[in-house]
Chain A
Amino acid sequence: MRLSKVSFRYRRREPSVIREVDARLEPGDVVEVTGVNGAGKSTLLRLLAGLTRPTEGTITGRPAVVGFAPDRFPVEQPFTVSGYLRHMSRVRGGARWEPWAERLNMSHLLGLRLGELSKGSAHKVGLAQALMASPRLLILDEPFAGLDADTRDALPSLVTDLSADGVVVVASDHQGGLRRLAELRHWTIQNGHLVEGAPEPLLPSPQVTVEVTLPSGELPRFLSRMRADGYQARALTAQEAE
């Protein structure tokens, strides 16, 4: 897949969001895309996915089957998780979603309505629908956002397996969740230009511990919500509380 002098602007007379991007993607490449908010990461992902045409330049050699996992899965739909995945499977020509549901540890979610899902659980549905059709180009928009710790740990190895099968994986990821992959390519969007190079080292962000008081009956739900959002959360013991 090749991008040649790709530029994109949303309206005439507006400056280009993406400017003269030249890049080549080979089967098995895993690319991490970073950039400040509004830099054009999502625009670049949409261009790669074929959702948007470049204003100038060309994108050639895009695989026929593309998977796209959004940063926010649209839960405002009147389906259960399994009902939704069944429909998307039919749209994908009968793709098998069940193995991915198992691998993403979401079997317990299948009977739930989409609107009842936490952010992390909804994100898994987005991943499953992207993966089910065995795409040759997989685009992940902030894939680690809100995932529980187990899936967060499992995702890099899943990406490694896909890469070994020749799938091109492009992920917009400001959390650096794929940094431990050996062959990771790193793209940064700066002023609309694509710069390829070594990623900035991740600095550990300062940690704080907060105290929250809530009715005891709501504790399990609160803890699971916090964990689904990627935070370490636990209830204090009676001794610790004293």
Chain B
Amino acid sequence: MIALAVFRVAAYVRSHRVYQALLLLLALLAIVEGSRAPVGQETSALADTAVLLIPVLAWSTRSLLDTEPDQQRTLSAISVGGRARELGAGLLAALATSVAFAALALGWGLLLGVSVTPPPDEFAAVLALHGIAVLAGLALGALTSRPVLPSPAVSIMALLFGFMAMLLLSVSPLYWLTVPVIRWMKAAGAGDLAARLPELAAISLLWCLAGLAAYGWLRRARP
């Protein structure tokens, strides 16, 4: 399965599709981290970056999963020993790519976006948010990939509206119905991210895992 994941990352890089997400991420970071956050607002600035990462990572995941032609997906499934392993290899490849992008964003933020590193408990919370952002991007990107949504127009609209819905719902009292990204930002701005992390992380992880489970379920009938 790891060899197939490597094959898919290699195809993603060699097809140059990786640069679409990379350039988008670099442009976003250049704008968001253009000036250092005021002292005391480091956690808030880094939490904002984690939220902005989600659509970029969703785009990257969708793009990586769609690089492989449908017929090659069939050959890969037979070669690796089944559809489940092929699906797992695709997600593993997307996860590895997303972790690299998230590390780049966090590194950029720490070097150029803030003057001092946040206190350890808040920094750990920021790290956790980046990890959840990776999973959220993975789930959203997988659910909008070609096997699930064959139309490119529908797929890209679903990705954008999916992220918009995440933003809008998480402003409302029904924030627990989605990955509550705005609540992350509010908690970081109020200085109680570390205290509220267990609740926010639990809701976020639940929806990420539900999204990935839905992807696995949908792929049963969409090889």
Chain A, Cβ-Cβ closest to B15: A78
Instruction: Assess A70 versus B74: contact at CB under 8 Å? Given A51-B223, A87-B3.
Output: yes
B72 close to A77 (CB less than 8 A):
yes
C-alpha gap A51/B70 in the complex (Å): 13
A92, B103: Cα distance in complex, Å: 31
**Smallest CB-CB separation from A95: which chain B residue?**
B79
- Contact residues of B between 63 and 99, Cβ < 8 Å to A: 68-72, 74-83
Docked pose: A68 CA to B71 CA in angstroms: 11
Question: Is the Cβ of A66 less than 8 Å from the Cβ of B71?
Answer: no
Q: A87-B3, A90-B3 are in contact. Are A79 and B11 (CB under 8 A)?
A: yes
Q: Which of A76, A77, A90 has the most CB of B within 10 A?
A: A77
Interface centre among B3, B7, B76, B78 (most CB of A within 10 A): B78
Q: Mark A82-112, 1 if CB is under 8 A from B, else 0.
A: 0000011011110000000000000000000
Whether A74 lies near B78 (C-beta < 8 A) is no
Docked CA distance A76–B67 (Å): 9
Within 8 A of A (CB), among B1-56: 3-4, 6-7, 10-11, 14-16
Tell me how far the C-beta of A68 lies from the nearest C-beta in chain B, rounded to whole angstroms: 5
Q: CA–CA, A70 to B223, complex, Å?
A: 15
Find out whether the CB atom of A77 lies under 8 angstroms from the CB atom of B79.
no
- Number of B residues near A (Cβ < 8 Å) is 25
Q: What 1/0 flags go to A20-45 for Cβ under 8 Å of B?
A: 00000000000000000000000000
- Residue of B4, B71, B79, B82 near A74 (CB, 8 A) is B71
| Chain B residue nearest to A87 in the complex (CB) | B7
Instruction: Please give me the residue from chain A that is nearest to B69 by CB atom.
Output: A74
Interface centre among A50, A73, A74, A126 (most CB of B within 10 A): A74
A68 to B80, CA, bound (A): 12
Would A87 and B10 count as touching, CB distance under 8 A? Answer: yes
Which residues of chain A are near B79, meaning CB under 8 Å?
A: 88, 91-92, 129, 133
Residue among B14, B75, B81 with the most chain A CB within 10 A?
B75
Given A51-B83, A87-B3, A87-B7 in contact, is the A77-B78 Cβ separation under 8 Å? no
The chain A residues found within 8 Å of chain B, CB to CB, are 46, 49-52, 64, 66-68, 70, 72-74, 76-79, 87-88, 90-93, 126, 129, 133
Residues of B within 8 A of A (CB): 3-4, 6-7, 10-11, 14-16, 68-72, 74-83, 223
**A-B residue pairs, 7 tightest by C-beta:** A74-B69, A78-B14, A90-B3, A74-B71, A87-B7, A78-B15, A74-B72
